[in-house]
Every structure is written in structure tokens, then in C-alpha cells.
Chain A
Amino acid sequence: MPQSFTSIAKVGEYILKSPALSKICVPVAQKYVNLAGYRKLGLTFNDLIAEENPIVQTALSRLPEDESYARNYRIIRAHQTELTHHLLSKNEWVKAKDDVPYLMPYILEAEAAAKEKEELDNLEVVKK
């Protein structure tokens, strides 16, 4: 069973809340992002999430129109850049402040709804 986004977000929050842990983890995360290099292709982190499952499909369908358009544009541009074995010019790289989790709130909401449905479907009613 793959990790749910809810649990990942929870761990992330826990790390950011504790000063000691965030002192270790945040620089590692930043190093990882630089090495992964997706920002040099004009992508943000949420563009990398695998979308071939019902939860993310639901989240994508709920994205506002402009964000959905921007996402498609970024993905197509990245494909084209990759195909021609180029990186974007440096001024077009995604800056850290623009790498926002635009899709994550929708995914978390869809996941919470799916979890709630699962629980309610398997509810056992006890008569007091």
C-alpha cells in the first residue's frame, strides 16, 4: 500500500514544527530539489505527482481553470525541453517562491473524502 498524501503531509508538518528536525531536514530537502532539477525544466513539485489514480484525477478536475491551464503549459514545455535535450534559460527556471503546492489541498480533500467513505461503508452499528 503506497503512502497516502495525508500521512506525508502530516510528517512534513511535524518536521517543520520541531526546530531541531527542520534544521536537519530542510537543507537536505533543498539539496534534493536542486539535484532533481525539475525546476530547471520549468516544473513545480506538484506537477511531478503521478496522476493516474482516482484521487489525483478528482483533485485535478477541481483545479480552477487558470491553474489547470498553467499546469498543462508547464508540463508541455517541460516535455519539449526534455525532448530537445535542453534546459530552460536560467531566467525561466522556477523560483523557490513560485514552487507552491497548488494541487496538494485538493488531493488532501479528496483523500479525506475517500477515507471517510471507506469508513462509513465498513461501519458496524452497535445498539446501546
Chain B
Amino acid sequence: MLSAARTLPQRAVRRYTVVASAAAAAAPTATLAVRVHGGARYADKDGLAHLLSRFNFQSTGDKSALRLVRESELLGGALRSSVDREYITLQATFLKESLPYYVNAIASVLYKTSFKPHELVESVGPAAAYDLAVATSDPVKVAEDALYAATYRSAGLGRPVLFDGVEQVTLDDIKQYANKVYTQENIEIFATGVEERDLKRFVGESLINTLPKGSAIKEAAAPKAFAGEVRVRAHGPNVAAVAIPAESAAQIPELQVLKAYLASPLYANADALERVAFDSFSGTHGLLSMYVKGADASAVSANIKKVVADLKAGLDIAPAKELAQVDAALAAQQSAVPVEQLALDKVAKFKLGKFAYSAVGDVTQLPYRDEL
């Protein structure tokens, strides 16, 4: 059912990576994703990557934004550009026969976006403001940003992902950043539901092949992690969150299993946790985060104290190994980009070491890090 993604032999000739997996070959739809190492951690200014991501699928040299969207609608496809700390991802979902159209559409976005000044004001700015409004209305999202800031401070990963206007970003900054990250060495192309041969051919004929040469700006070394604390006073539900950094590749499987364990009924206090997430970066470092959310600040304090006490006492997480594997397989099946396979042999017991803490909401009532 699930065929592993393969790397093409042509890789030496064409610098960018092209990976196709023919999973779900019978389905009529296909997904094409271009992943660019250009997320928030690589941008010199806060929010620059977010604005660039929102500039994707705007007017290009040959097509206006409106025409691109309308044509894509008529073909029955959808275009999406998203940003996170590591990547800017351009994704298209479409009927298989329109593969060449979407390869060319994404190629011209990477190569020929016009960056018109009025688009920044009229469409990109409001769209970015909308993203920020959605994110700030969710206290869990605010707590997540606070955890990253507490763990990594202002180095790369600690920077905010979304543009908030605190730091001024001009159109020239965005253009320069696009030239820096949209290079052959810095992009990876993934597709599901298409023939590998077809994909290679269409990509080879498209503008992606003539993207300028640059250098891969992928950051593989784990940044220094701090055991910090951030408290954000806000209206709405209270959130207390704990983050555990993985500072080496060896810690990643352990935290993956811990994530599966905490989210499953295997863990006695699983109901107390609103969300458990693990983000892995370059396969060498990552951050596990868990969130306790509630309207009642005293219940939130009690729950976060209980969870941290459990983690400090040590948990036998070995029973969740298979669960973690199933989670990974499921994630691999649902996403266009390959998910790293886990080596879970050595995972047995987890004991809390370094952790960062963030509290959002009525912070007078919520505990401090050293009270946990």
C-alpha cells in the first residue's frame, strides 16, 4: 500500500531533489509540493518568510493572480502556500491529467513572481494580517510561539513565524529573500499519485530547471536550547505549556514515542493535555510541546503541575512504541512530503531533564516555572 519515497538517480545532474511516490495510484487526484528551506528561522527579519509565502501565487510575469486562481478552479485543483519555522511549502492538489499545468504554475511562481508594490498593500498585507489575527486568537498557538521564544531565544527557531509589523519589512527585502531561497539547491519537489517518469520530464521542461544556482541554506546544527520561561497576559482561556528540546538526533525517537504516549490513553493524565506536538528539524533537533488549556486557571495550574510531576518521576513509555510507528505511517500516508522513519529500538524510559515553560492568559493565577 505504502511505497517508500525514492530519490531519483538524476539527482547529480539536476541539483534540486525530485521525489515521486506512486502511492494511491488508483485515485484520480495527485499532489505536488515544493518545499523550500526558507522558513522563519532563515529570514533576517521577523515575518519576512511569512510575507514571501503570502506572495506566492500572486501575479507573475505571464499571469495575473486572478487568472491563475480561476484557471486552477476550472481544472479542479487547489493551490496553497504555507510557512513554518523550517519551510515555505507550495502545494497543489489536482486531477492527475493536469500535472504539467501545475508544474509550470509553481515553476513560474518560483521564478517569475512580479512583486508588484500594490499587491503588498492590497492583498499580501491583509492576508498576512488575517493569518496573524487567527493565530493570536488561539491561546495554544500563542503559547507555542512563546515556547519557541523561551527555548531558542532570538536565534533562528525562536523568531516569530508570522509578520506582526514590529519589524519593518519592505518589498525589496522580500525580493532579495526570494532570490536567496528560491534557488535550485534550496528546493525539494515531492509528488504523490503521479508517475515518477512524467514528473521528472515535466519538471525538466519547466522553469524550475532554469532557476538560478545558489547554495542550500539548510541549517543542520542544533541551536543552543535554553530552559526559559515566557508569560503572556491575555484574555480568554488559560494555557500552560511545557516544551522539551531534542538537542541531538538520538533524542528524537524518544520524544516521538513520548508524544504518542502522552496523547494516548496509556498515560493516566492524558485528558489533562489539550495538545501534544513534536516538530523535528533537519532530523537533528526538535521540540516536543504539550499544552494544558482551560477556562479555570486553578485547574490548569493543578493539571500542569501533575503532568510535570509525572514527567519528573519518570515514565515507562515503551508500550507506546507501536503507536508512534502507526502515527508516523499515518502521517506519511496523508502528506505529500515524506515523513522520516523512526528507529525506536532503544526507547524505554523517559525522565524530564531540560524544559521550557510558557503561560498564556491570567498569568497571576498560573504557576511559575520553578514552582512546577
Q: Tell me, yes or no, whether B353 is within 8 Å of chain A by CB.
A: no
A116 and B117: CB pair below 8 A? no
Q: Tell me, yes or no, whether A83 is within 8 Å of chain B by CB.
A: no
Q: Tell me, yes or no, whether B154 is within 8 Å of chain A by CB.
A: no
Q: Tell me, yes or no, whether A23 is within 8 Å of chain B by CB.
A: no
Rounded to whole angstroms, the CA-CA distance of A125 and B71 in the bound complex is 11
Q: Which residues from 51 to 82 on chain B have a C-beta closer than 8 Å to any C-beta of chain A?
A: 64, 66-67, 70, 74
Interface residues on B, range: under 10
A113 and B66: CB pair below 8 A? yes
A120 and B117: CB pair below 8 A? no
Closest-CB distance, B54 to chain A (whole angstroms)? 19
Q: Tell me, yes or no, whether B118 is within 8 Å of chain A by CB.
A: yes
Q: A113-B64, A116-B64 are in contact. Are A62 and B118 (CB under 8 A)?
A: yes
Partner of A117 from the list B66, B74, B117, B118 (CB cut-off 8 Å) is B66
Q: Which residues from 95 to 128 on chain A have a C-beta closer than 8 Å to any C-beta of chain B?
A: 113, 116-117, 120, 123, 125
Q: How many residues of A contact B (CB 8 A)?
A: 9
What is the predominant secondary structure among interface residues of chain B facing chain A? helix
Q: Which residues from 37 to 63 on chain A have a C-beta closer than 8 Å to any C-beta of chain B?
A: 61-62
Closest-CB distance, A78 to chain B (whole angstroms)? 27
B66 and A120: CB pair below 8 A? yes
A125 and B67: CB pair below 8 A? no
Contacting residues, chain A, for B117 (C-beta < 8 A): 62, 64
Q: Which residues from 34 to 56 on chain B have a C-beta closer than 8 Å to any C-beta of chain A?
A: none
With CB as the reference atom, state the residue of chain B lying closest to A63.
B118
Rounded to whole angstroms, the CA-CA distance of A62 and B117 in the bound complex is 8
Rounded to whole angstroms, the CA-CA distance of A62 and B70 in the bound complex is 24
With CB as the reference atom, state the residue of chain A lying closest to B119.
A62
Partner of B70 from the list A61, A64, A113, A120 (CB cut-off 8 Å) is A120
B74 and A116: CB pair below 8 A? no
Rounded to whole angstroms, the CA-CA distance of A82 and B132 in the bound complex is 50
Rounded to whole angstroms, the CA-CA distance of A61 and B117 in the bound complex is 11
With CB as the reference atom, state the residue of chain A lying closest to B63.
A116
Chain A positions within 8 Å of B, measured between CB atoms, are 61-62, 64, 113, 116-117, 120, 123, 125
The 16 listed contacts between A and B (C-beta, < 8 Å) are A61-B118, A62-B117, A62-B118, A64-B117, A113-B64, A113-B66, A116-B64, A116-B66, A116-B67, A117-B66, A120-B66, A120-B67, A120-B70, A123-B70, A123-B74, A125-B74
Ranked nearest first, the 5 interchain pairs of A and B with the lowest CB-CB distance are A62-B118, A120-B70, A125-B74, A116-B64, A117-B66
Given contacts A62-B118, A117-B66, 10 further A-B contacts (CB under 8 A): A61-B118, A62-B117, A64-B117, A113-B64, A113-B66, A116-B67, A120-B66, A120-B67, A120-B70, A125-B74
